[in-house]
Structure 1
């Protein structure tokens, strides 16, 4: 790498005169940033356009889906009033159980009832009542039409008490958005028939006729089961199938996406699509935008950037030639002066005059030499400051080395140092010294059942109890090892030490940390206490042995208790 740089900078470029190097550098400096900015701007503009479409189209399809749902719920609500009405219930009862004359009257009555409820609505294409076998009860309906309606009802999935929405096309090519609804007898909740209401797609398409997203976008409702378009904007209500779109939406949802995807249509053209499901149906409101149309505006920006780049190249070339000539001539004179310098002493200064860039360069050279000289003068001060910072860092490191990394309280090393120090102080002051040794009951079983992460969390909780219980500055709570903890309580008699231990035991018990492998059903602890008047013959090993013996006695007596060792014999303390 170094050889390549040396070849370019010291051999190849040195063969080119300074003015030509300056001209080329000016051209590169002016064009490279513009080129990079153009590429970035093109990409960001494309991303921004897609993000704008994603946000705007996403909100539009959600609003249209909500409006569609309102229209659907309005039709469902009116149909529900019809199917539970006394006239409908009575006519169906007569149809199934009456004489032939009653059945004829029932058919006529239902026909009148349907005309009364839906005859005045110009957007209603079909309005039929079907019997249990999906035959149209109105005997005046053509057989071919009746068969088509029956087949549609037979193919509909189980409605499970809710209306079903689908698309129905007659043999004549008339397309309807159909609502099927079961009619149940109110007396026994048995199936009485099916309500078939066919609506003109334009009834729904008017919801989004006025929406124009631009960029050649389309807005329509698609059936997620087969990709068939249910309703489109304007007069486009064809039965086109968008299976590729439905597959892309399904893949996006499966990958955790919510309302935006991309796909290729049958002509291999890429589109961006925002979608929103219509609740209680298999339909989705979809807005598709051709990516090519979306990027047209971005391409226009790109062409403008290219034009600006060409103009900048011409201007920068002419400007660089003029500037290069104005610099190269006086620079040669400055180089000649600097070649006469025979020493690297930073006390050397350059004489300068004039107001051009060479004058400024001479001034900056003198300022640099002065700064380097001052920097050398103050180097020792900086070294001293770095030394002080290192000492502070070492102090922090020392504090970290005395802390248990898991629980955040003192570690074994800090505990041993503190116990030795407190023992000496107790000998000098002739005041009692107390030591508590705590062990978490059945902790191995806890680890085996709940895992090491839960075990670590349990130890941190116990350590927090010890930290909050040791309120005096002279008290020290430490992790002794594994699930064992210890607390040094200076200037404390046995009564206070036992009370402190009992408070800790009760606090841990009251946490009610579940422990199914403990007879208590939750995490508990056993605590051994030693509180003695120490003398010169007492050692830290003796204190630890006495406290440890008391703790093991507490465990042997059933655990979850406090036991005191007064230095002579072991006495049971409070227990639950």
Structure 2
């Protein structure tokens, strides 16, 4: 019996193309009456299912739109509170001040306010305050990013006092849902700047987590202007615009119908969609249900009717079994070979015989596997090459982020990291740690007399002195802020630190940079030195406080000198 089945299904029938096998089998099994009954039941049940979806989906999108509006209003409320706060008002006033110190303080306060209000929220992608010319007030932001944000803000329509919501895409392809809000001075109601807050779309997609109409429906938030997807409950939806839906909605609204439309998507598949606008935005919440998925239950009833009829045709069952076996056995073998390629082994091949479509498919699979294997080898080489390039770029970026752009020495961020690390190392090694704080004497007078460009040249010259004075790998010279510099000297007692400070002071004076508004006639510096035997209770704040006290003493004693702090009164 088995040999006879093999002869029919694997030898004789395999010589006939699959489509002719199936046609012949359907001709032998005539089920016309059941097919007609199934079509009638299908159409009636389909209409009832569409009406049910229309009612439930319309209510569902209204509720989601309201929930999204609540999320938007919550973010708008917190942003308004920040924009109208006294701290933000004062910081912006300082930022526009002509006084460099007030401007720097205002700028720093703005950065702190952004971190305090949005830094702890993982769903916030970007947070910036833009000035009146739409420039980001944070100088450490990359130029390319700053230009993109500026263009986004410039292209935004007149907000008329309300926040503006839209989608912002970075050069790297990262999308953010952005809120723009004008910040006005309370004193004169003039524009002081613009608040830019970029949110991860995932933050809004959580609204959809407990919402599911079934029938393979999708819940989206789209831009009513062009149909682009703003937020999706499923990342697989992509960013392809729902242009057909936008056209159907516009027609529906113009004709005064309810919030339910039928349209064909980009793949020419019939879709049913309920929509509700999100107030104060150009967005719509839509629930899209494929008509084909909606009719699944109806088709199930139809198939059951057909299945009952199939039972009446015993001969058809026998014939179907033989035909199915002629198809399923080689297909199962092909599927097994394809599953084996999941491990990345594309050297495996499919053995085939006959002249039907499965034989052709097996042949094409073998050819494809060979090409994929060659492509994978090339791709692995490219990935390794790109990985090396990325590592080099990361090293360069890390160096840039730790360097002061004006002087070329370490910046405040690198200094803070290094001071903490040296403090911990000093605790372990029980070796003394010295810290010097250097301030350029009468630097404001220098800037006022010679200009800021000359002031920048002066700071760069002093930075070169510090760089050459720090010969050991463990020493670190950094720009602490403005005209202040700091030098970390590891494993150094007070005598060595004082000597190094005197050398630096003498080297600065030896530059002979003319300064007519200084009693010394040239640019000089005051240096505060502290050298302590640290313990576990010692903190970086204590070291900085000791060095600051010594620097104050050097200034109080007439400047252009080195002063050593007394660590006896330090507190951890």
TM-score interval, normalised by the smaller of the two chains:
0.3 to 0.5
Larger radius of gyration: 1
